[in-house]
């Protein structure tokens, strides 16, 4: 299978349970909840996406003809700058489950990579993935109902924390919605977490410190 990748880069995971951890981000092109084009945002299921997942021309991006080629490139990006530690890759998008498959996971793990995924939960994740982070979106089908962490962008009309608190996840995070109301949304999320301690606050620390 060929893979269309927007970008591959080394950074720190900015969100959730692994916040602050060195990670290679592999961002796939394409999503099933928004085309990625601004002219389609008003009719998209997910209207608040803050990620550019169109095209394959960003650093590290491109078309990869095989799972082994992509896995090797990810490991090279890790090895270029990291000393020690288990290599860690986060597959994201867009929606990475439109492309990720068993072959790619196996090729990554064969090279010692720990494999994480950030998904909107509309598609079933492969059980071989080491870490599954699900970020539900209002108005979208919710299929992936188990995982390691659920990261709910908050607030979302029609998508409340109570809808998910009974599910089989190890970690429950509220992430304030970015945009012009970010300060108010941080306060709302913080207040909710104070009164509902099952949930923890997740801030986008990569944006706060100015890294990709």
In angstroms, the CA 58 to CA 54 distance is 10
Which is catalytic among the residues 18, 25, 26, 169?
Answer: 25
Active-site residue flag, 193: no
In angstroms, the CA 73 to CA 182 distance is 36
Active-site residue flag, 108: no
Active-site residue flag, 38: no
Active-site residue flag, 46: yes
Which is catalytic among the residues 51, 101, 102, 128?
Answer: 51
Which is catalytic among the residues 7, 26, 29, 46?
Answer: 46
End-to-end CA distance of the chain: 28
Q: Which of 75, 150, 151, 79 is nearest to 114 (CA)?
A: 75
Active-site residue flag, 133: no
Q: Which of 2, 9, 15 is nearest to 135 (CA)?
A: 15
Which is catalytic among the residues 7, 118, 148, 149?
Answer: 118
Active-site residue flag, 80: no
Which is catalytic among the residues 26, 31, 108, 193?
Answer: 31
Which is catalytic among the residues 142, 171, 178, 206?
Answer: 206
Which is catalytic among the residues 50, 52, 76, 101?
Answer: 50
For the annotated catalytic residues, the residue numbers are: 25, 31, 46, 49-51, 118, 206
């Amino acid at each position: 299978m060929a893979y269309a990748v927007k970008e591959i880069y080394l950074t720190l995971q900015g969100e959730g349970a692994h916040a602050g951890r060195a990670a290679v981000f592999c961002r796939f092109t394409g999503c099933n909840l928004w085309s990625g084009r601004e002219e389609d945002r008003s009719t998209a299921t997910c209207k608040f996406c803050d990620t550019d997942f169109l095209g394959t021309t960003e650093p590290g991006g491109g078309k990869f003809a095989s799972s082994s080629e992509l896995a090797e490139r990810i490991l090279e990006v890790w090895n270029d700058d990291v000393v020690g530690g288990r290599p860690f890759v986060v597959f994201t998008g867009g929606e990475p489950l439109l492309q990720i498959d068993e072959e790619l996971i196996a090729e990554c793990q064969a090279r010692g990579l720990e494999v994480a995924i950030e998904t909107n939960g509309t598609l079933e994740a492969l059980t071989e993935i080491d870490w599954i982070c699900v970020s539900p979106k209002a108005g979208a089908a919710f299929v992936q109902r188990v995982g390691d962490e659920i990261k709910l962008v908050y607030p979302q009309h029609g998508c409340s924390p109570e809808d998910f608190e009974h599910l089989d996840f190890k970690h429950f995070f509220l992430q304030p919605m970015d945009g012009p109301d970010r300060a108010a949304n941080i306060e709302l999320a913080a207040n909710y977490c104070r009164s509902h301690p099952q949930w923890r606050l997740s801030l986008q620390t990569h944006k706060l410190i100015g890294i990709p």
